[in-house]
């Protein structure tokens, strides 16, 4: 039987280039409840540490379209967004968020 964590990893890896989704949408698609979205970063971080290096972290954003960023990763994330045609404003929000939001089915 596939675990919640395994579903989260599979789902996150399936986000198409040029699209984004939210922590909550990943949690819901993996079968979790409302609070499960808080566990997504931890699950994916552990997967990365265990060798799964193709997780597109930059495609996972907050529900309001804001991107996660810090001083260490900011330039690289902006490069990835630009490469995929995703426009970010000065407040670190995706400009056309509703148009590129990926919904799982």
The reply to whether 25 falls in a domain is: yes
Give the predicted TM-score (pTM) of the model.
0.93
CA 34/CA 66 separation, integer angstroms: 19
CATH code where residue 47 lies: 1.10.10.10
Say if CB 60 and CB 40 are below 8 A apart.
yes
The reply to whether 66 falls in a domain is: yes
The reply to whether 63 falls in a domain is: yes
Q: How many domains does the chain have?
A: 1
Give the pLDDT confidence of 41-95 residue by residue, as tens digits: 999 999 999 999 999 999 999 999 999 988 888 999 999 999 999 999 999 999 9
The reply to whether 67 falls in a domain is: yes
Q: Whole domain around residue 81: which residue ranges? A: 4-98
Would you say residue 34 has pLDDT above 90? no
The reply to whether 104 falls in a domain is: no
* DSSP single-letter state for residue 60: E
Give the pLDDT confidence of 8-23 residue by residue, as tens digits: 999 999 999 999 999 9
The reply to whether 105 falls in a domain is: no
């Amino acid at each position: 039987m596939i675990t919640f964590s395994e579903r989260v990893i599979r789902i996150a890896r399936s986000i198409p280039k040029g699209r984004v989704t939210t922590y909550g949408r990943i949690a819901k698609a993996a079968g979790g409840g409302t609070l499960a979205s808080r566990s997504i970063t931890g699950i994916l971080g552990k997967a990365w540490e265990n060798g799964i290096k193709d997780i597109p972290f930059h495609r996972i954003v907050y529900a309001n379209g804001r991107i996660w960023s810090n001083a260490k990763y900011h330039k690289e994330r902006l490069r990835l967004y630009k490469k995929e045609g995703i426009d970010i404003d000065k407040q670190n929000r995706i400009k056309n968020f509703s148009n590129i939001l990926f919904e799982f089915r």
